[in-house]
A and B are shown apart, each in its own frame.
Chain A
Amino acid sequence: EAQVTQNPRYLITVTGKKLTVTCSQNMNHEYMSWYRQDPGLGLRQIYYSMNVEVTDKGDVPEGYKVSRKEKRNFPLILESPSPNQTSLYFCASRVGAGNSPLHFGNGTRLTVT
């Protein structure tokens, strides 16, 4: 089954404790992206990757890191999480062309205390 898999689904952590949210897709998609969703703010792009070893900042990259060492994986790293990063996070992928639809993972609800 074609899918985007995120882990974990829920995560509660404390300020400053490094964490990684994993994202994997099995559709051989070139493009992958991370979004955060907050009430009233919609989906805001954090980082995206057009292909392996190519990453770019989205609209809200501060406090986040990503890597794209393999085509299927695109982990989101919070080196020192803060409470304002409490949010619902979605990973998404699509075929490289800009007109292709995005396939979203099920989301990761992160709480930073």
Chain B
Amino acid sequence: GQQVMQIPQYQHVQEGEDFTTYCNSSTTLSNIQWYKQRPGGHPVFLIQLVKSGEVKKQKRLTFQFGEAKKNSSLHITATQTTDVGTYFCAGGSQGNLIFGKGTKLSVKP
């Protein structure tokens, strides 16, 4: 079946370092969404990318959607302790969303 693979599963960084998580789909996606789940919380929608090659920024976060609409990345510049949590990508396909397994980010002050 359709899958969205997300790597790495875990990432430990020193505060101030950059962080990137990657998602790859086995099929072409109609869109990709990114969510953040703080420890003990629920997933919260961050952003959606729809167009091939699209790049969007939210302050220190940069989101990219691949040209083939099969892969995406989230890059955080100069991480802060408030960035701690699990980041999920979710690929849109045939009216449904397929979630990656998430990348758990920890930030050491």
User: Are A and B part of the same complex?
Assistant: yes
Question: Is the CB–CB distance between B33 and A41 below 8 Å?
Answer: no
B48 touches which of A90, A101, A106 (Cβ 8 Å)? A101
B101 touches which of A35, A42, A50, A101 (Cβ 8 Å)? A42
What 1/0 mask marks residues of chain B from 85 to 109 whose CB sits below 8 Å from any chain A CB?
A: 0001010101111011110000000
How far is A102 from B36 in the complex, measured between Cα atoms in Å? 12
Question: Is the CB–CB distance between B101 and A104 below 8 Å?
Answer: no
26 contacts between A and B (CB under 8 A): A35-B99, A40-B101, A42-B88, A42-B99, A42-B100, A43-B88, A43-B99, A45-B96, A50-B95, A59-B1, A90-B43, A92-B43, A98-B30, A98-B92, A98-B94, A98-B96, A99-B48, A101-B33, A102-B35, A102-B45, A102-B90, A103-B45, A104-B43, A105-B42, A106-B41, A107-B42
Q: Is A74 an interface residue when CB atoms closer than 8 A count as contact?
A: no
Question: Is the CB–CB distance between A104 and B100 below 8 Å?
Answer: no
Q: Is B25 an interface residue when CB atoms closer than 8 A count as contact?
A: no
Q: How extensive is the interface on chain B, given as a class? A: 20 to 34
How far is A43 from B96 in the complex, measured between Cα atoms in Å? 13
How far is A45 from B97 in the complex, measured between Cα atoms in Å? 9
- Shortest C-beta distance, A28 to chain B (Å), equals 18
Question: Is the CB–CB distance between A106 and B42 below 8 Å?
Answer: yes
How far is A95 from B100 in the complex, measured between Cα atoms in Å? 21
B contact residues around A40 at 8 Å (CB) = 9, 101
Q: Is A34 an interface residue when CB atoms closer than 8 A count as contact?
A: no
Q: Is B44 an interface residue when CB atoms closer than 8 A count as contact?
A: yes
Q: Is B27 an interface residue when CB atoms closer than 8 A count as contact?
A: no
Q: Is B78 an interface residue when CB atoms closer than 8 A count as contact?
A: no
**Known pairs A42-B100, A99-B92, A104-B44 / 10 extra A-B pairs, C-beta < 8 Å:** A35-B99, A42-B102, A48-B96, A90-B43, A101-B33, A101-B48, A102-B33, A102-B43, A104-B42, A106-B41
B contact residues around A105 at 8 Å (CB) = 42
Question: Is the CB–CB distance between A99 and B31 below 8 Å?
Answer: yes
Q: Is B50 an interface residue when CB atoms closer than 8 A count as contact?
A: yes
Which of A45, A102, A106 has the most B CB atoms < 10 Å from its CB? Answer: A102
